[in-house]
Structure 1
């Protein structure tokens, strides 16, 4: 099938299933994301889903960094009109969320090394005027043997194209910036908030704004974040505190990714 051999299922989302695979003319292992467009077609949202998928492909094609998961190829199988296939670089150690839940929190120096790699990928995509909009531990993928940590899943990403602001409620509870919750205008610094929340997660072993209910998490971010942050940074070293203070703050005070890089 287009030179791709699909193997076992390794993940499943609302509209897609991910399999391991292999490019037929070599030994390289890949991750194949299969998107089923049937439900979108039945609900009359096929055109919207097609545009969203095309945007993901265009953005993933532009992103070329060793700190971002690479799109190898994409295609539509002729026998299955409602299926689209995206073949990505395979990351054998899963994602950062599962890694922390299985192995526990990281030491601060190790966590800072991980964050510096994620930040390198973030600087790259921001230079391309791309906003990820769903940066979270589950979208950071690992190759533990090589010490690789890479940003993946650009399904909600957008190209700002020089625009000064965007609107729209997107992201994952616990890693969403306040301005997104408030449906205010925002820019690429929403990703920087998420970066700070990821750091707090990997050094504490749990999300900073932790509660099972999305509405409660929203209220923690909007009304009690200072208390949550003070508790989190009390045992952090100076670099960790600087990272948190420069990211988990109001949008107008929040550092951009290139400025955060100067901390390391």
Structure 2
């Protein structure tokens, strides 16, 4: 059995014309007077006036009666119906890239969330009642003719809408159209947009959605599964689902921005155990024996060494700035018989897991051999 998207309400029929209204283009809705009573017309205008939002079509002025027709000026959307975008790709002017899909999904969900926050039930959600702007891809929910106020289980209008996007409880006559049935309809619309296939209404359930969307790596899979739960008491609400929708819609761009601003890796270390500075006094024999064995776990970058005025101090400048991970037992150092070589005993036993390029420091002119000693 095929379910029709045709709206089950005679009073909602009318024609839309693009005309100028107060120096701007407008979608002029013309409804024969005998198809809609004044009470329903006033209720529709109240819905528009209360539901002002970028993702809800705007009412531009009060309805007027002309030639036995009600003239209702609406915002004109320079775009196309979502029905065309999803199912008529040859006629569509919108390319459904992941970012465009995210913009459309987030927009129409924001619009429905705003309606529900004002206690308004749309009742007739379907791709034909969602417009998408060509330039900005802004999604706009239109046709509030069947929308009703819903407070404490009381409705301001009869339950009407289309069958193809009706929730299970509505089709089985077990419940009336409310915010939860709107959520179910929106979940099916999102699934069809992501998969670009028309889904058979009775078969729509979390298992079916998971099978269709998870294979494509869709980030909306879990959220839509919660929206199409058959039991309305466990079905997600728009307020509960929106944080996940916003994250899913903005995740791709955020990741690209973060990847684009990653700093170039540059190893540097922090000294937590102070070591001798270039201008410290010469080490005594007792201090030499206290130098620990150090295991370096970070990649070290050799630092340039400036010659100290004193030949006895230049070795200290070669000590790398390291973060000490663990201190081992100090190794005893015996004093060299030659006063010219004692400084080497002061250098710690260092186990380096990365290869460092040695820096060479020229000996002081006061040295008699004129040789160069490598930095340890």
Question: TM-score normalized by structure 1?
Answer: 0.77
Residue 255 of structure 1 corresponds to which residue in structure 2? Answer: 236
Q: Which position in structure 2 is the counterpart of 1:30?
A: 26
Q: How far apart are the structure 1 equivalents of 2:102 and 2:132?
A: 15
Equivalent position of 1:142 in the other structure = 132
CA contact (8 A) 1:193 1:248 kept: yes
Aligned ranges for residues 1-150 of structure 1 at < 5 Å? 15-24=13-22, 26=23, 28-38=24-34, 40=35, 49-78=37-66, 80=67, 82-103=68-89, 106-150=96-140
Q: Which residue is 2:197 aligned to?
A: 206
**Structure ranking higher in helix proportion:** 1
Contact 2:123–2:159 (8 Å) recurs in 1: no
SS of alignment partner, residue 94 of structure 1: strand
Q: Which moved more, 1:82-91 or 1:230-239?
A: 230-239
Task: Mark the CA change 1:18 to 1:89 in structure 2 (over 3 Å): closer, same or farther.
Answer: same
The total of aligned residue pairs comes to: 229
**Could you give the per-residue CA deviations for residues 162-183 of structure 1, whole angstroms, max 9, x where no partner exists?**
3378996532232111111122
Greater relative contact order: 1 or 2 (C-alpha under 8 angstroms, separation 6 or more)? 1
Aligned partner of 1:239 in structure 2 is 219
**CA offsets, 1:71-119, max 9 Å, x none?**
10132235x2x31011111011121111222327835553233111111
Partner deviation per Cα, 1:221-247 (whole Å, 9 max, x = no partner): 5xxx46643442342436321122110
- Of the candidates 195, 202, 208, which is equivalent to residue 186 of structure 2? 195
Distance 2:165 2:48 in 1: 22
How far apart in 2 are the matches of 1:167 and 1:52? Answer: 8
User: Contact 1:106–1:203 (CA<8 Å) still a contact in 2?
Assistant: no
For residues 105-139 of structure 1, what are the alpha-carbon distances to aligned partners after superposition, in whole Å with 9 as ceiling and x for unaligned? 83555323311111111111111000111111111
Deviation digits for residues 10-43 of structure 1 (CA, Å, limit 9, x no counterpart) = xxx973010001124x2x21100000124x4xxx
Q: TM-score, normalised by structure 2?
A: 0.56
Check conservation: 2:129, 2:142, Cα contact below 8 A.
Answer: yes
Identify unmatched segments of 5+ residues in structure 1: 1-12, 41-45, 210-216
Closer, same or farther: CA 255–113 of 1 in aligned 2, 3 Å:
same
CA distance in 2, matches of 1:148, 1:17: 23
- Indicate if the aligned counterparts of 1:167 and 1:180 stay in contact, CA closer than 8 A: no
8 Å contact 1:174–1:207 — kept in the other structure?
Answer: no
Structure of larger gyration radius = 2
